[in-house]
Amino acid sequence: MALRQDHQLLSELREFFTLTCALFSEVSLRGLRLANRVVVSPMCQYSSDDGCANDWHLMHLGQYSMGAGGLVITEATHVSPEGRISPKCLGLYSDENEATLKRVIDFCKHYGVTAMGTQLGHAGRKASTQPPLDGGDSLSAEQGAWKTVAPSALAYDAGWHLPTELDRAGLDKVKADFVAATRRAERIGFDLIELHAAHGYLLHQFCSPLSNRRSDEYGGSLENRMRFPLEIFEAARRVWPEDKPMGARITGQDWVVGGWELEDAVTFARALKDLGCDFVDVTSGGLDPRQEISVGPGYQVPFAERVRREAGIHTWAVGMITEAMQAERIIAGGQADMVALARGMMRDPRWAWHAAEALGAETPWSDMYVRASPRSRGKFTPRQSAKA
């Protein structure tokens, strides 16, 4: 009798979560409708050749497009050769880059059930380095180092390249590179763009007083330091289709005294929203090697919660989000509108399938794998579309 009652209780709980599960509720950003609130976060793979995608990217992104979340975003995709973190980083600055990445995205869209986004970025003073598995240090001349650029001529750390401070011509080139990459992303067929303004890369370097010591209209006050990233966003938004969403990954805190703080992130998010930004993805750190970060499960969620509450913008939470119930609490509790996972996805490329089952919810499965769905009972069922 007790066992039967336990089964009945479990059934009732599953029915309750099916009706109320926040994590697996639909969400819309402009003309894009997503089947759930789970994002496969950008993950640098350091496997490209002159910025070009290859079979690794076909496998890497293809596996996630089968249903790891409602949205999959490519790794940081750089807008110029000099903007790459390393020689092995993905780019979108040439016709060949565009063609090879289109092959991958076409595959994901044909066989998968997710929306596909890209993250466009420029590494600034953190460019021209070895891939992490090779040490991650600045490249030597013999290793093919290139000249780096930044808001100010300040190296990231001892032993790193001294960047060239961007002058007017340099600023104009960076902006044109972002616009050109945005146009390429449209031709490829991406559903969404996220501009990378965090993790110590170029747009973050402009925002933080630790890396921006300029004395012109792009330095000094918070308003001035945000100016160039906002100009980049505005220029890219102008050439991106009106019905497609564009957002930004921003930092909540530098974790260094005297650096960027959460109050600044709120102000930045408000300014982005005024320019037509549809979402912000709030992370932290990466700008200065002196950072002292307190890492733990969901440690960056409070950043997203405050930005969402005070800036009134659609917000994603990131950082050590690994469990289904943890993610459900974040969304149901109003701390964020979506959650973005990276390491959890590496461990389990079917994360959304397993999370939905644990919460008694439903999520799209690819046609080829739908027979494994808990609700299919071994029969073929029509695909549930992940997007409009």
Catalytic residue among 201, 218, 299, 369: 201
Q: Between vectors from CA 186 to CA 308 and to CA 349, what angle results, nearest 5°? A: 60
Displacement of CA 340 from its chain's centroid (Å): 8
In 3D, which of 191, 148, 181 has the Cα closest to residue 166? 148
Burial of residue 110 (CB within 10 Å: 0-12, 13-18, 19+) is: exposed
Q: What is the dihedral of CA 11, 14, 15, 17, to 10 degrees?
A: 160
Are 64 and 345 in contact, with CB atoms under 8 Å apart? yes
Are 345 and 354 in contact, with CB atoms under 8 Å apart? no
Three-state secondary-structure class, residue 382 = coil
Q: 218 catalytic, yes or no?
A: no
Residue carrying the six token digits 């790193």: 160
Pair of tokens at residue 166? 């961007």
Residues 6+ apart with CB under 8 A from 99: none
Cα–Cα distance for residue pair 41/340, rounded to 1 Å: 5
Cα–Cα distance for residue pair 387/185, rounded to 1 Å: 18
Cα–Cα distance for residue pair 261/44, rounded to 1 Å: 26
Burial of residue 70 (CB within 10 Å: 0-12, 13-18, 19+) is: buried
Three-state secondary-structure class, residue 280 = strand
State the distance between the two ends of the chain, measured CA to CA, in whole angstroms: 47
Q: Would you please indicate which residues are annotated as catalytic (active-site) residues? A: 201
